[in-house]
Amino acid sequence: MANAGGRPTAPLVLELEEREYLERQIRRRRVARSMSERCRIILRCADGIQSKVVAIELGVHEHTVGKWRRRFLKDRVEGLLDEARPGRPRTIEDNQVAAVIERTLRSKPADATHWSIRSMAGETGFSHTTIRRIWTAFGLQPHRSETFKLSSDPLFVDKVRDIVGLYLSPPNRALVLSVDEKSQIQALDREQPVLPMMPGVPERRTPGYVRHGTTSLFAALDIASGFVIGKCHKRHRAAEFLDFLKQIDAQVPTDLDIHIIMDNYATHKTALVRAWLARRPRYHVHFTPTSASWINQIERWFAELTRKQLRRGVHTSTGQLERDIRTFIERHNEKPKPYRWTKSADEILASVKRFCQTAERTLCGEL
């Protein structure tokens, strides 16, 4: 094989293990960008692509492609690693680094729930800068904590496939609505007037507030258009939910089937609601798995309502709160935009499986 200039280049052939390693480095979230770029260069060169073409594709200089190609041909995967640089010699050994990592992962300080950089430095005798570098290199962040919840629904797989199928391939001559309620929305007024934002000074408000009642919002999101049907009620019962279903029924053309995606809340399953739906064969109900509200797209719209209207809103009555919610819905419906669902059911289930396997291995390691 030769480049455009005629200079011959040695063929680059990857072993199966080498290709798997390079592809794994590209997929890793915490790998350095430079390392990811080198792996992409080698993979493209191994596909028989000329260096000049690879350089254009990846946005690097042709000499960069040639450099890492030669390094790989000489030292294989080890050639992609950064070479040792001149400077002050290391003052901490690998076994000491491993000891810091082990202590970070397997122990807790006596007076706290997690390590801080300075508490770990005091415990190990290293400087806080050394601890910071070790934690950064290995992606350790003891100050951070995330939550998770796995569904215990025995029909989890079937329900995920059913609902994701509606999102990715909705039926013809049918309307797919994501339905839920945002209950107990509080009309909150601050104890003192909000001070507006000024140059160099953010908006300021008192931490205390005065409650002026609550309202509940019933909403349905058309997943195809992004249009929202919403109605506020003082109470949150089956009677109010049935009233909302009647509102939907009045607004949707009679020649369309209606697929409703909603959770397993008791209000949705009362005899009154089930009887009303049974008398209308064009309605098809799809229940989300238990503890899996993330699959209901209306929750994404509720988050937008909270962020844009409710979190920093000031309301002196429930009537004012409901007017603002109706105005928000009207403004949204002037230019509705659907949310794009990207993952297939297989991808979601594979992610859940990987998480469960990782959690099981983690727990087994701690026992």
Q: Which DSSP category does 201 fall into? A: B
Three-class DSSP category at 167: helix
Confidence band of 1 (pLDDT split at 50, 70, 90): very low
**pLDDT for 71-113, tens place per residue?**
888 888 888 887 666 777 777 888 889 999 999 988 999 889 9
pLDDT at position 334: 93
Taking residues 49-77, what's their average pLDDT? 87
- What is the identity of the amino acid at 320? Q
Burial class (CB in 10 A: 0-12, 13-18, 19+), 290: middle
The position carrying tokens 């919002």 is 217
As to burial, measured by CB atoms within 10 angstroms (0-12 exposed, 13-18 middle, 19+ buried), residue 64 is middle
Correct CATH for 155-192+206-349 of 3.30.70.20, 2.40.160.10, 3.30.70.1530, 3.30.420.10 = 3.30.420.10
Q: pLDDT tens-digit profile of 217-246?
A: 999 999 999 999 999 999 888 899 999 999
CA distance 207 to 272: 43
Opening angle at CA 80, ends 26 and 14, nearest 5 = 70
Give the DSSP letter of residue 206.
-
pLDDT band at 266 (very low <50, low <70, confident <90, very high): confident
Mean pLDDT score across all residues of the chain: 87
Residue 367 has pLDDT above 60, yes or no: no
Torsion of CA 245, 251, 253, 257, to 10 degrees: -30
**The pLDDT of residue 9 is above 80:** no
Q: Are strands 283-287 and 209-222 parallel, antiparallel or unpaired?
A: unpaired
Q: Indicate whether 352 pLDDT > 70.
A: yes
User: What's the whole-number mean pLDDT along residues 343-360?
Assistant: 89
Question: Do 147 and 140 meet the contact criterion of CB atoms below 8 Å apart?
Answer: no
Separation of alpha carbons 237 and 138, rounded Å = 51
C-alpha 31/C-alpha 138 separation (Å) is 10
- What's the rounded Cα separation, in Å, for the pair 101 and 95? 10
CB 143 within 8 A of CB 115: no
Split at pLDDT 50, 70, 90, the class of 6 is low
In order of 167, 171, 294, the CA distances from 230 in angstroms are 21, 24, 20
Query: Hey, what are 261's tokens?
Result: 């995606």
H or E segment to which residue 213 belongs: strand 209-222
Token match 């390094």: residue?
A: 71
Residue pLDDT, tens place only, 193-206: 888 888 988 988 88
Q: What are the tens digits of pLDDT across the range 296-310?
A: 999 999 999 999 999
Number of CB atoms found within 10 A of residue 51's CB? 21
* Residues 151, 317: Cα–Cα separation, whole Å: 38
Per DSSP, the three-state class of 343 is: coil
Confidence bin at 11 (pLDDT 50/70/90): confident
Q: Which residues of 236-274 are buried (b: 16+ CB within 10 A; e: fewer)?
A: bebebbbebbeebeeebeeeeebbbbbbeeebbeeeebe
Q: Which amino acid is at 281?
A: P
Average pLDDT value for residue range 104-123: 91
CA distance 300 to 297: 5
**Are the C-beta atoms of residues 249 and 273 closer than 8 Å to each other?**
no
Q: What is the mean pLDDT of residues 260-276?
A: 90
